[in-house]
Amino acid sequence: MTGKLKRASSLWLGAVSMLALTVSSATLSSAQAQTAASKAASEPVKAKPYDPSWGFNMSGMDKAVRPGDNFFQYANGTYLKHIVIPADRSSFGPFVILADTARERVQSILAEAGKHPAADPKTTEEKLGAFYAAVLDTAQVDKLGATPLKADLDAVRAVKDPQSLAVLFGKSASGFQYAPFGLMINADDNDPGQYALLLRQGRLGLPDRDYYLKSDFASKKKAYQAYIAKTLSLIDWPEAQGSAAKIVALETELAKVEWSRIEQRDPVKVYNPMTVAELTKKAPGIDWAAFLTSAGIPAEGLDARRLVVGETTALAGMAKILTTTDYGTIRSWLAFHLASNASPYLSQPFVQASFDFNDHELEGSPQLPVRWKQAVSHTEDAMGWAIGKVYVARYFPPAAKRGSPS
């Protein structure tokens, strides 16, 4: 789920970033709300407009280099010698500058809304302020620890057969639970005027199947196992070290049957329309009806419902592997992914463990972003459309739209 939330946030911020380029210029008690609001007020961020200057900045060139020898160095050498990548970033460039500008503007909106958060928020602005202030209230978040996961962990512990497993997989569509395949609704590739229900192989804990199968990524795989053990220990899961080894072994087997990225790019190969009844025959072992209804698909006429399946043999292979895996390992696997998906929203030990592996080990970011940046990101994940409405009203008024090229 975390990946999903990050992707959604990135898409929204990307849209807001382009807007920045176009424009020229949990229930809180009153005491908790005021504490969080004070923190928000103590960290004001001035929203800066993006530099509207146009053209190529020649000061970044290195004219000591002959363009025929190394044109890239000639065009960018001085810029590259002096650029400083922020400590909480793994890369930097114009679109990062745009995203930072948008984020600072969003923070100014949220800080203003959170100055006096309501205990029982009603309006959009009150809800934004209350949510943002709740994330900033690190004392309360750290006090809660893993407690917010209790109901979901109880559901994981109750998994004992294909039906209960499929039901939990379905819950991943609307929460922090995990499924190794993804369900979505999008335009039908062969009939863009219609929507289709799409079923694809999902992501395992590492970014790609090669991380499990190629020796080049052995250090990442080892770090992943350590992260699993750390996360399981944070939720007091029994035998964290042994469970971590079993989880990595399970995902390695699943990676073997997953399709490669090259195969997934073949639009013909990943377009396999069929009914749910046909899917059940092609990929036995998963209670697909239970999965789909748990995800919110109506039960009436389900067997005859059409869906487009992507990686057919991968789904069949994954289903077969899961039917032969002991439920103790499956429950540990689900518990880890649940906690990992929720980690950025939990207490500091969870946040730090998630950052150390996902952002530092895998992406190279040296430093965890400060709390207000995390709070902006989480609020965007939860209430992105609401923030967007306020953002547009403030930074893209009708006058700016009239002045934009059509």
CA distance 212 to 255: 7
CA distance 285 to 207: 25
Q: Is the pLDDT of residue 278 over 90?
A: yes
Going by their DSSP bridges, the two strands 181-188 and 272-275 should be labelled as unpaired
Q: Give mean pLDDT, residues 193-210.
A: 95
Q: Write down the residue that tokens 């190394």 correspond to.
A: 70
CB 53 within 8 A of CB 60: no
The CATH code that applies to domain 147-345 is: 1.10.1380.10
Q: What is the mean pLDDT of the chain?
A: 86
Contacts of 50 (CB under 8 A, 6+ apart): 20, 21, 97, 98, 101
Q: Exposure of 391 by Cβ count < 10 A (0-12 exposed, 13-18 middle, 19+ buried)? A: buried
pLDDT score at 399: 76
Of the ranges 23-27, 106-110, 174-178, 265-269, which one carries the lowest mean pLDDT score? 23-27
- CA–CA distances in Å: residue 105 to residues 23, 73, 316: 13, 34, 47
What are 179-199's pLDDT values in tens digits?
A: 999 999 999 999 999 999 999
Q: Is the pLDDT of residue 401 over 80?
A: no
| pTM score, whole prediction | 0.80
Q: Is the pLDDT of residue 13 over 70?
A: no
Q: Is the pLDDT of residue 38 over 90?
A: no
Pick the more confident residue, 79 or 279: 279
Edge-to-edge strand list for the sheet holding 181-188: 181-188, 191-201, 306-309, 272-275
pLDDT score at 396: 83
Where in the chain is CATH 1.10.1380.10? Answer: 147-345
Of the ranges 107-111, 193-197, 219-223, 347-351, which one carries the lowest mean pLDDT score? 107-111
pLDDT score at 31: 40
| Residue 69 identity | D
